[in-house]
Structure formats: C-alpha cells, structure tokens
Structure 1
C-alpha cells in the first residue's frame, strides 16, 4: 500500500482524468460538466453582483456579462474538455479547459477582458493576454473596475487574499 501511495504521488498516470462534456456556466470562471464543478485555473472573473464602469462612465454588471459571454463562447464549439490541475479548498476540480475546436477557454476570457490573469495561481501565464486586453480597452478594461479578488474581500470584510 505504501508503494502504491508513493507511485500515485509521482506518476502522472494516476492524476485525475480530463472531464469532457457539455459545460453549464456557473459564473465567469466556473462551470459544471457532468455534475463536477470546475474552477478555471489561473484566471479570476468578476462576481455576478460586481459592477464595472464602461468607457462612458456608466456602471454595468461585468460579472454577469462575463458569464453570458462565456456561455455563448462554449456553445459555439462543444464539447468542452477540462484538464486537471488540482483540487481547491472547496474540493472543486481546478483545470485548464478547451472547446472542441481546441481554443483554450481560460486564455480566451483574459484576452477578451472578461477575466484577469490571477498571477498568484497562474505564475503570469496570461499576463501577455491581459496586457493586450488592457491596451485595447476590452471588457473590464473599458473603464475603472475593482479586481474580483479585492471585491470579494471587501464584500466579506475579510483580510486581503489576492
């Protein structure tokens, strides 16, 4: 038994298998496939209640917009495949996901300004995509907004965790 446990910790063959199926969007960075809740690795989208400003000073629900855009994006090329990265503290499957046509969902969200590169978890994997979205004033980058992790902290009155 000890040998098996040791092999499981070093052998990728024992890693969780990818999840493939029709994705239902929970929010801008979370989906569900076949009853499994999946958190997109390395990106952070605004919460559904979160407000952002557009370039004209109007406020809009940017989290809701991110979720709706993600739903449309996934519907255009099914099924969705998510590759396992880890389990988070809520025991959600955390992964990098791809549409049937091979487009990476995590990167697409950041490229469109619908989520930010969460460098704490991504090690800056999407920094280039975020820089482009910011330079082109896409999505949240059209106007002022609060980082999603900061908005959650402020709403819950907890210590910062970004």
Structure 2
C-alpha cells in the first residue's frame, strides 16, 4: 500500500503535492501560467483565448487574447509567483496566484483583461464592475465572452470535421 502511494506521488509530480507552489512563472495565456512544470489556471477568471479578437469602441479589431497574455506577462515580469491550489475545474488545476501579495486574477479582472467566472466564485465581481464602469480593457469595446467564443470555435471545428468525413 505504501509503495502504491509513493508511486502515485511520483507520477503526479508537483501538481499533486500539498501546499503552495512558488517560483518564476511562464505565462501560457491570459489566465494560465506554469510554475516549476505545473500548469495552473488562475482561479475564478476567464480571459480571452490567444486567437480571440475583440473590437475597440471605434470598431477596430484587435487581438484581445494576445493583449491579455501580454498584460499578465508584463505584470509578473521576473517576480516570484506564489500559488495556492484550488479544486480542479474542467480537468485543469486552478490556483489563486500572487505576486508581491497582489492576487493576479483580481488584477487581470480589474484591468479589464479577463472576466469574473461567477459560476466558480463571486470573488472578482467587484473588480469586474469597476472595469466595466471605467471602460477598461475588454469593456472599452465589444467582445464575445471567452467561454462562448471557445464553444463556438469547437462547434465550427467539429462541423468541419464531420463534413470532411462524409
């Protein structure tokens, strides 16, 4: 029994370890980072996907997914990120991550680079309301919610795949 538990711990790696994970971070996208080989989704938020476009108030299209990724990368810089794991959502490990004591998810939502995921937590709805009121980031123009954009994209790809198989 002890051998099985040890083997599972080795297979899981740092993702299964208890306690915080801390160190330099690689930004994957606007709501996902990697710390010491462990990929973590920022708990309670949803940022535009890397390929997602949005529109400015003037109707100009821009790559809002890349803008969110860039904003998170610049906010973290070379700083140490400390993350407290949360329950896995949609098969991915989530965490509340901080730089210098500041919650990165709260910062992303406050800057308008991500939306609060209300079905996960109400923790960031205040920041989202403030970003909306001041027309920051995504709220300065028009956009499709990242989850809806991704679902539409997957549906289109599935339709294209089934049409090609016929």
| TM-score with structure 1 setting the length | 0.83
Could you tell me how far apart the structure 2 residues matched to 1:151 and 1:17 are? 34
2:136 is the counterpart of 1:134: no
2:96 is the counterpart of 1:112: no
Q: Which has the higher helix share?
A: 2
Please give the per-residue CA displacement for 1:67-93, whole angstroms capped at 9, x wherever unaligned.
Answer: 0010000016x1000101112343x32
Partner of 1:154: 152
Partner of 1:93: 93
Q: CA deviation at 1:64?
A: 0.3
Partner of 2:9: none
2:28 is the counterpart of 1:26: yes
Q: Which runs of 5+ in 2 are unaligned?
A: 2-15, 157-166
Largest Rg, 1 or 2: 2
Partner of 2:83: 82
Could you tell me how far apart the structure 2 residues matched to 1:118 and 1:15 are? 26
Q: What is the total number of aligned residue pairs between the two structures?
A: 142
Please give the per-residue CA displacement for 1:99-123, whole angstroms capped at 9, x wherever unaligned.
Answer: 0x2111010000000000010111x
| TM-score with structure 2 setting the length | 0.81
Task: Give the SS at the match of 2:19.
Answer: coil
Q: CA deviation at 1:15?
A: 7.7
Partner of 1:46: 48
Runs of 4+ in 1 over 3 A off after TM superposition: none
